[in-house]
Amino acid sequence: MTEAAFFPQLEIPNTIAAGPGPGHTDARVLDRFASAGMADHMHADVLRGMIECKLMLRSVMGTRNIHTFGVAGTGWSGLDCLFSAVMPGDRVVVFVNGTFSGIDGLTLRMKAATAKELAASPMDPQPASVKIVTVPHGQSVTAEIVEAALAEHNAKWAAMAHWETGSGRINDLRGFSDACARHDVMGLVDAVSSLGVEDFRIDDYPGVHGWASCPQKGICCLPLTYAPVSFTDRYIANLRQTGCRTFVHHPILEARHWGIVEGKDVGKGVYHRTHSAYAVAAFHEALRITLQQTVAGRAKSYVFHEAALRDAVTAMGCKVTSNMPSLVVLNLPNKLAGREMELVQTCRASGFGIWPTLSEPVQVRIGILNLLNQNAITDIVNRFAAALNKMGAEIDTGRMNERLEQHYQTLVAAE
């Protein structure tokens, strides 16, 4: 017989979420989460909240797509829903330039594999119908790369991450959409990192027929609430013809609880699964915050603060290889090269939650999601410099802070 397992109450400390995500959940979101009453998933106010979320989400995403809603879970839940229409044997081109687009590629290989191909390599299938176009870490997927691949492979679907968070690179969404439209391929985009950080409207990219994001990056909600997704009428019409092999993430069935039935908005959702009043309340507040601050306003703020952080770490001798305004991906100064994991672990042990890259090469990632103020950036810069100095970097922190202050003054003056 085993001992009965029982533990003290779980305490989890507060840290600075200075990684690629989750971002710093807004206090207003946490308050709504904790203040929601005990109410079931068919309660009138929960259903009303979901309808309001759906309408706000259409504004945040810039779309008239009826099939726009939240998938319960994390980014991968939304992406699983996005890729659900891809059937065994479908021809797919996937652009991979880092960890996350790599996993998107794996998901698509699993979905497009025939039963025989899946059985041949169940965890890592290599279906003949999927073409993975690999772009080296630290580089972006360009319009030329997409055009060449779509011209060569007669695909039904193409998939790309808008912002590849693994390497911190922005991929060419315009080029991707245009090439998809030219070759009559249905584009699918992983917008997990970009939604709520960049100012863009998905309806301006007509070559893209499906989009998925996550709750906890640009949208600043809690993980495991709702991953935004949106589908064009063409995607949905295709899905109606082919069907797909999921109940829970079926884009047509899942949409019903958000009051989208038979391709139309209806006043009240229909049961699909047991939604959480807490999650709905949190997501609702996160969307309200985004719309109050405006997507354009937040996007501008990210660019502004990332420039300050980038300048500071560059002055410390680091080399930044990313171009995302919410995340800095860098190489350490030459004399500290190879000690990235040690640095990240030291920082994380003190509640300063920066990250390494998750696939080769090893680099350091510092994120600023919902940390959009001078105090937060100054704190990040000083913690990072102190950790480097512990390893022998000899950074003059007094001069560094003067420089940061000066940077903010000039940036403010330039506004």
Ligand X SMILES: *Cc1c(COP(=O)(O)O)cnc(C)c1O
* Residue closer to ligand X (CB basis): 213 or 238: 213
Residue 367 gets the label, from left (phi > 0), alpha (psi -120 to 50) or beta, of: beta
Residue 327 in contact with ligand X, rule: CB under 6 A: no
Residue 19 in contact with ligand X, rule: CB under 6 A: no
- Rounded to an integer, what is the distance from CA 127 to the centroid of its chain? 26
Residue 98 gets the label, from left (phi > 0), alpha (psi -120 to 50) or beta, of: left
Residue 259 in contact with ligand X, rule: CB under 6 A: no
The least CB distance from residue 78 to ligand X, in Å, is: 8
Residue 165 in contact with ligand X, rule: CB under 6 A: yes
CA distance 140 to 366: 19
Residue 107 in contact with ligand X, rule: CB under 6 A: no
Residue nearest to ligand X (CB): 75
* Residue closer to ligand X (CB basis): 47 or 170: 170
- Which of residues 26, 190, 198, 254 is near ligand X by CB under 6 A? 190
Using the rule CB under 6 A, give the single segment among 187-195, 203-211, 235-243, 310-318 that binds ligand X: 187-195
Residue 214 in contact with ligand X, rule: CB under 6 A: yes
Burial-class residue 17 by CB neighbours within 10 Å (0-12, 13-18, 19+): buried
The least CB distance from residue 75 to ligand X, in Å, is: 2
Residue 251 in contact with ligand X, rule: CB under 6 A: no
The least CB distance from residue 188 to ligand X, in Å, is: 12
User: Measured over all CA atoms, what is the biggest interatomic distance in the chain, rounded to whole angstroms?
Assistant: 71
Q: Which helix (H) or strand (E) holds 310?
A: helix 295-315
Residue 232 in contact with ligand X, rule: CB under 6 A: no
- Which of residues 100, 157, 278, 302 is near ligand X by CB under 6 A? 100
Give CA separation, 289 vs 129, 216, 294, in Å.
43, 13, 8
Binding mask 67-96 for ligand X (x = CB under 6 A): -------xxx--------------------
Give CA separation, 250 vs 55, 119, 179, in Å.
20, 24, 27
What phi and psi values does residue 353 have, to the nearest 5 degrees?
-85, 65
Closest CA to 130 of 107, 160, 158, 109: 109
Contacting residues toward ligand X, per CB under 6 A = 21, 74-76, 100, 161, 165, 190, 192-193, 214, 223
